[in-house]
Chains A and B, each alone.
Chain A
Amino acid sequence: KAGVTQTPRYLIKTRGQQVTLSCSPISGHRSVSWYQQTPGQGLQFLFEYFSETQRNKGNFPGRFSGRQFSNSRSEMNVSTLELGDSALYLCASSSDGGPYEQYFGPGTRLTVT
């Protein structure tokens, strides 16, 4: 089975712009979670989607949003980018969305200048 893929791998944006990141889970997995990783805050949970519905949300401003499509692929969007949004964005998938093993993609490195 192919692993979790994320596109693009690297992205440079300017403050005020918006960005969309994409995640394709492992085939058959219905749950996709997104995380932000920074040196200062570590790994922080953004949100989780299961069967096209957002089930959980972390403590991030409304500029961070996401969605999941019927094929379980997910996108996250960040609007009005700020310098502090520079981070590694990771997505993870799991089969039934239970509190068990998550499979992570390689991440998208976002740099905001």
Chain B
Amino acid sequence: SQQGEEDPQALSIQEGENATMNCSYKTSINNLQWYRQNSGRGLVHLILIRSNEREKHSGRLRVTLDTSKKSSSLLITASRAADTASYFCATPDNFNKFYFGSGTKLNVKP
């Protein structure tokens, strides 16, 4: 299975701190995407990084991709209470079938 695994499973930090979560996957990819989910609701797309990119920024988000290690990391800088959510990495295969990781549950304490 191509399904990614995320680590840590849960992360609790104070507002203003940085949060880093990691994702590993198993097969070659076209791109890797990160999504956020607030308490059992729909997912929101955060950022997409293509397989030929190593790093990408979007606001307070920084994503890195290491295809040799089949891993990616998502860094949220200067976290806010509103960042409290579950974060998932997703890798679509060649047939546009998306595989989601197990998710990291982030709790940002005010």
Contacts and interface: CB of A to CB of B under 8 A. Distances in A.
Interface of A: 4, 31, 33, 35, 42-45, 48, 55-56, 58, 88, 90, 92, 97-107, 109
B68 interface: no
Interface string B74-96: 00000000000000100011111
A43 B41 contact: no
Contacts of A88: 40
Interface residues of B, number: 25
A35 to B, nearest CB: 8
Given A101-B48, A107-B41, A56 B103 contact: no
Nearest to B6: A42
A43 B35 CA distance: 12
A98 B42 contact: no
B40 A31 contact: no
Contacts of B42: 4, 90, 104-107
B99 A45 contact: yes
Contact of B98 (A4, A102, A103, A107): A102
A4 B42 CA distance: 10
